[in-house]
Structure 1
Amino acid sequence: MEGLTLQVAKTKTKYLRALKAAFPHTIPIFAGFWFLGLTYGIYMNASGFSFWYPMLMSLTIFAGSVEFVAVNMLLGSFNPLQALAMTLMLNARHLFYGISMLDKYKGTGWKKIYLIFGMCDESFSINYTANIPKDVDNGWFMFFVTLLNHFYWFSGATLGGIFGSFIHFNTEGLDFVMTAMFVVIYMEQWFKDKRHASALLGLGISLLCLIAFGADNFIIPAMIAILGVLTLLKKPMEKGGETE
């Protein structure tokens, strides 16, 4: 009995340690997700949907851009092929995220299923680059990062849907909070790394693709180009001490 109690105590300690290590990394995400989630819930309410829609969609889809686009799809004619094509175009970048996380997700057990489902841009950024303390389980750290980010979006969208009819203000430009959040994440990684070849390559390639393909079509070509260039330069960067 004492052995079982001790084992339970150790397990709880492991969970709490991982949660405490993960939470500070998600604070900037909370600011972005919660306010944008509120905007999404208010938008759904203004479009004539009950709060059940943003609540369930944020819980089961968890893809902010797709959820915003889905509002017009739900209001329009039934066209599943268009919905599929739009979803693939908006979230194709997650294919590259998944390739990058193959090694990190090894050995995470049943948590891998939720980690794959909940891997958004922000969770990927944290889980891929965070320096996880040695006394913290990597799998549980990534799990709590993903869970917290999911909860931020879910709670914001739900509250926005519930109280949307009582809130009347101009929300134009509020989605810029997501851009600001990515800038903060980028700057944190910039100051953490001693060398900046990867960051500069990413910016340069993205700018070239933006010029070549335009603002609406540059993301996928940029991701492919960045993946290819960094793969080719991986060994020279490692020899030069580049941290990723």
Structure 2
Amino acid sequence: MNRNALSAAFPVTVPVLMGYLAIGMAFGFMLQAIGYNFIWAFFMSLTIYAGSGQYLGVQLLNTHATLGTVALMTLLINFRHLVYGLSMLEKFRGMGPRKFYMIFSLTDETYALLSSVQVPAGVEPRNFYFSIALLDHSYWILGSVIGAVAGALLPIDTTGIDFAMTALFVVIAVDQWKAYKKHLPALLGAVVTLISLTLVGADNMLLPALAVIVGALLLLRDRLDEPQETQKSEKEESVC
């Protein structure tokens, strides 16, 4: 592990640290409430590492769902990661064996950071990206274990606690909105999602909405090339 990259990545990941401790603890509480201790929380967070998927996993474990149901529900709820992966192809290029971990660790929040963060001067980009992913993963594991231990020691009502995941994602989305001048991707996602919700309902909206969003973003890729725009603005500022 490159210490320089790790030191540079830590300040960037502090918002995720705060969020993952909270929602990781919420997951640990929920898992403990259905009879699974901190060891289960640790290994689920280590090997699954999918916030919404793990929240769903609590319900599936509690209802003794079949493997087929687990596989289908996991695919549906994490299908959006196919979109994430397509946009990270260039950033993950040349990372060697670390590429497999980067693919595995591409959560919503890590993706939000990797897609918007600027690499500090003097830091190797691939080491920087890897450090962000590793730190975020460690925060999630820590939060889930703390939650499971606390849930075993304290009587806690977990009703509504799963909303913590939604709250964190909204905070990161607002931060990205402020960081970028172009809001077309966010607006496109919101409009397409609302249309899909209206036409096919909440139970069937995910796949059609994602398909339309991916197609539209691919068609508009040249216009949404943010790195080139950033470089131009930096050059203009340096000239001034």
Q: CA deviation at 1:71?
A: 2.9
| Equivalent position amino acid for 1:208 in 2 | I
| Equivalent position amino acid for 1:143 in 2 | F
2:16 maps to 1:29: yes
Report what 2:198 is aligned to: 211
Could you tell me the percent identity over the aligned residues? Answer: 40
Range that drifts further, 100-109 or 133-142: 133-142
Task: Tell me how many residue pairs correspond in the alignment.
Answer: 229
Q: CA deviation at 1:77?
A: 4.4
Report what 1:85 is aligned to: 72
Task: Mark the CA change 1:103 to 1:51 in structure 2 (over 3 Å): closer, same or farther.
Answer: same
2:26 maps to 1:39: yes
2:111 maps to 1:124: yes
Task: Mark the CA change 1:192 to 1:160 in structure 2 (over 3 Å): closer, same or farther.
Answer: closer
Task: Mark the CA change 1:149 to 1:190 in structure 2 (over 3 Å): closer, same or farther.
Answer: same
Report what 2:222 is aligned to: 235
Report what 2:98 is aligned to: 111
Q: CA deviation at 1:237?
A: 4.6
Q: CA deviation at 1:168?
A: 2.1
Quick one: which of 190, 213, 220 aligns to 1:226? 213
Q: CA deviation at 1:108?
A: 1.0
Q: Conserved in 2, the CA contact under 8 Å of 1:33 and 1:156?
A: yes
Q: CA deviation at 1:76?
A: 4.3
Bigger Rg, structure 1 or 2: 1
Cα-to-partner distance string for 1:172-221 (whole Å, 9 max, x where unaligned): 33333332322222222222222322322222222222222333432332
For structure 2, list consecutive stretches of 5 or more residues without a partner in the other structure: 231-240
Q: Secondary structure at the match of 1:49?
A: coil
Q: Conserved in 1, the CA contact under 8 Å of 2:29 and 2:150?
A: yes
Question: What CA distance in whole angstroms lies between the structure 1 residues aligned with 2:174 and 2:210?
Answer: 20
Q: Conserved in 2, the CA contact under 8 Å of 1:22 and 1:144?
A: yes
2:159 maps to 1:172: yes
Quick one: which of 58, 68, 80 aligns to 1:71? 58
Range that drifts further, 159-168 or 101-110: 159-168
**TM-score, normalisation: structure 1:** 0.84
Q: Secondary structure at the match of 1:163?
A: helix
2:96 maps to 1:94: no
Question: What CA distance in whole angstroms lies between the structure 1 residues aligned with 2:14 and 2:73?
Answer: 30
Q: Conserved in 2, the CA contact under 8 Å of 1:18 and 1:137?
A: yes
Q: CA deviation at 1:121?
A: 0.9
Question: What CA distance in whole angstroms lies between the structure 2 residues aligned with 1:105 and 1:70?
Answer: 29
**TM-score, normalisation: structure 2:** 0.85
| Equivalent position amino acid for 1:47 in 2 | I
Q: CA deviation at 1:54?
A: 1.0
Q: Conserved in 1, the CA contact under 8 Å of 2:37 and 2:152?
A: no
Question: What CA distance in whole angstroms lies between the structure 1 residues aligned with 2:186 and 2:53?
Answer: 27
Report what 2:129 is aligned to: 142
Quick one: which of 184, 187, 199 aligns to 1:197? 184
Q: Conserved in 1, the CA contact under 8 Å of 2:25 and 2:145?
A: yes
Q: Secondary structure at the match of 1:212?
A: helix
CA RMSD of aligned residues (A): 2.3
Range that drifts further, 227-236 or 110-119: 227-236
Question: What CA distance in whole angstroms lies between the structure 2 residues aligned with 1:183 and 1:70?
Answer: 22
For structure 1, list consecutive stretches of 5 or more residues without a partner in the other structure: 1-11
Q: Conserved in 2, the CA contact under 8 Å of 1:195 and 1:242?
A: no
Q: Secondary structure at the match of 2:90?
A: coil
Q: Conserved in 2, the CA contact under 8 Å of 1:197 and 1:242?
A: no
